[in-house]
Amino acid sequence: MSERDDILANAVSHTKDQVRAAVREVRKELSDSVRQAASSKINEAVLEQNAIQRAEVIFCYIGYGSEVDTLPLIEQLLTLGKKVCVPKLGNAKGIVKPDAPMKVVELESTDVLKPSDQGILEPRKGKQFLGSPDVTITPCIAATQFGARLGQGGGYYDKYFDKNPLTIRIALAFECQILADLPGNDHDCVVDLVITENALYQRDEVAIDEDNLWEET
């Protein structure tokens, strides 16, 4: 077994950085055609969710690099009349300063998106949304079938979820990013649902109901 395979098979026995590096490597090996096809399936699955259909305000990350491509999803949500918010780290010139806080900015059109100095698309300016979105769609480096999530390491979404405990949390990932377990600590936030091109992984203590967005069981 290679070192990478060992990390992926026994992630909980390794550091977060080791797991991040291994999963990023696997994800980058996906061809562009496979990545786009899988992203399309994931976006379609997102739109089918009752929570999305009933939500008025949705906070959605913008896919970067080898992440799930969410631009088509965002455009569809805007077409459906949803209030869509996106993350913003850069200043008015697109420069991301050290320890810059993540702002949640309302988006009217994807035409206003420009790459920051980190290469991530975001609006240069826009109205900051200060409420709690009905649904938050978050990226991840890796996740488990039970809602554990490993992020980039900046802690942006963990802090955000701490301040917005009622928002429904949906993580998007390719199936190759789903691991049996993850290294973590008490500060790591779990998500309610993980959507891949192959499956929906729902946290055990949360159930989707016909008449309610989410019903605790």
Please check if 156 is assigned to a binding site.
Answer: yes
Please check if 184 is assigned to a binding site.
Answer: no
Please check if 90 is assigned to a binding site.
Answer: no
Please check if 192 is assigned to a binding site.
Answer: no
Q: Please, which residues bridge with residue 57 across strands?
A: 83
Residue 212 CA: distances (Å) to CA of 53, 55, 78: 11, 11, 23
Distance CA(6)–CA(1), nearest Å, equals: 6
Please check if 19 is assigned to a binding site.
Answer: yes
Tokens found for residue 136 = 């938050």
Which H helix or E strand runs over 21?
Answer: helix 16-28
Longest dimension (CA), the chain: 51
Q: Within 10 A of 198 (CB to CB), how many other CB atoms are there?
A: 13
Please check if 203 is assigned to a binding site.
Answer: no
The residue behind tokens 């998500």 is 191
Please check if 150 is assigned to a binding site.
Answer: yes
Distance CA(46)–CA(186), nearest Å, equals: 28
Please check if 67 is assigned to a binding site.
Answer: yes
Please check if 18 is assigned to a binding site.
Answer: yes
List CB contacts of 48: < 8 A, sequence separation 6 or more.
none
Please check if 151 is assigned to a binding site.
Answer: yes
Please check if 125 is assigned to a binding site.
Answer: no
Distance CA(133)–CA(39), nearest Å, equals: 23
Please check if 16 is assigned to a binding site.
Answer: yes
List binding-site positions for substrate.
Answer: 62, 67
Binding site: which residues?
16-20, 62, 67, 149-157
Q: What residues are designated binding site for ATP?
A: 16-20, 149-157
